[in-house]
Amino acid sequence: MIKRIPEKRIRELVKRYGSFYIYDKEIIDQYTGRLQNDFAGINFLYSLKANHNPDVVSFILSKGFGVDAASLERGADGRGKWAWPE
């Protein structure tokens, strides 16, 4: 189910931050779960090029995903932990 953010709240956020992204943890959880269920036994890697927001990366890592990164330095999850699949 898609949640609607009231237009007034969005306008307040635009005034405060200019541009920004909105992430829905439930949707990310739903789609990572679907991938894991539909392709059981596959070790998935999340591309940091797609989005390197530390909160998003940490959440996806908590779901059992690893990280695909261009270098070892980018292979950390943003908090100094190495993000290799187990």
Tens digit of each residue's pLDDT (9 = 90 or more) over 38-84: 999 999 999 888 888 888 988 999 999 988 877 666 555 454 555 44
- Is this model's pTM higher than 0.75 or not? no
3-class SS letters over 25-74: HHHHHHHHHHHHHHCCCCCCEEECCCCCCHHHHHHHHHCCCEEECCCCHH
CA terminus-to-terminus distance, the chain: 32
Tokens of 24: 């829905």
Provide the residue ranges of all domains of the chain, joining segments of one domain with +.
42-86
